A = this chain, B = another copy of it.
Amino acid sequence: MPWVFNDNMPIYIQIMEHIKMRIATGEYKTGEKVLPVRELAAEAEVNPNTMQKALSELEREGLLYSQRTSGRFITEDSKAIEHLKNSLADEYISWYLEKMTQLGFSKNDALEQLKININKSNA
């Protein structure tokens, strides 16, 4: 499965978001070992240095930890993972409301437009 990046944001930031998403949804499980940097880099078709940068940032944020030579693992702090999922969701909701408000929609309009879009794609 190819990792998709866009050009207006640093790749390493997008990798971080990608991995956060996988942790938040439980696709990467608590304490689970992740693939070695070099393999992840190959999978994402990215330079190992770039992957390393993303991973060490995630480590700094406490979502991963590495053991010198046995590999790198997802945090065992399940509260942190729960918190991650909630804060991502909050982030997305706030962003949506903010943008729609800037566009001139009220909050209820923003809700309505979402409803309409969902119903449309169900038809």
Number of A residues, CB within 8 Å of B = 34
Q: Contact at B24–A103, with CB atoms within 8 Å?
A: yes
Q: Contact at A25–B118, with CB atoms within 8 Å?
A: no
A49-104 residues at the B interface, CB under 8 angstroms:
85, 88-90, 92-97, 99-100, 102-104
Q: Contact at B107–A93, with CB atoms within 8 Å?
A: no
Q: Which residue of B lies closest to A118 (CB)?
A: B107
Q: Contact at B114–A114, with CB atoms within 8 Å?
A: yes
Bound Cα distance A96, B105 (Å):
15
A111 at interface, CB cutoff 8 A? yes
Q: Contact at A25–B102, with CB atoms within 8 Å?
A: yes
Chain B hits for A100, CB < 8 A: 89, 92
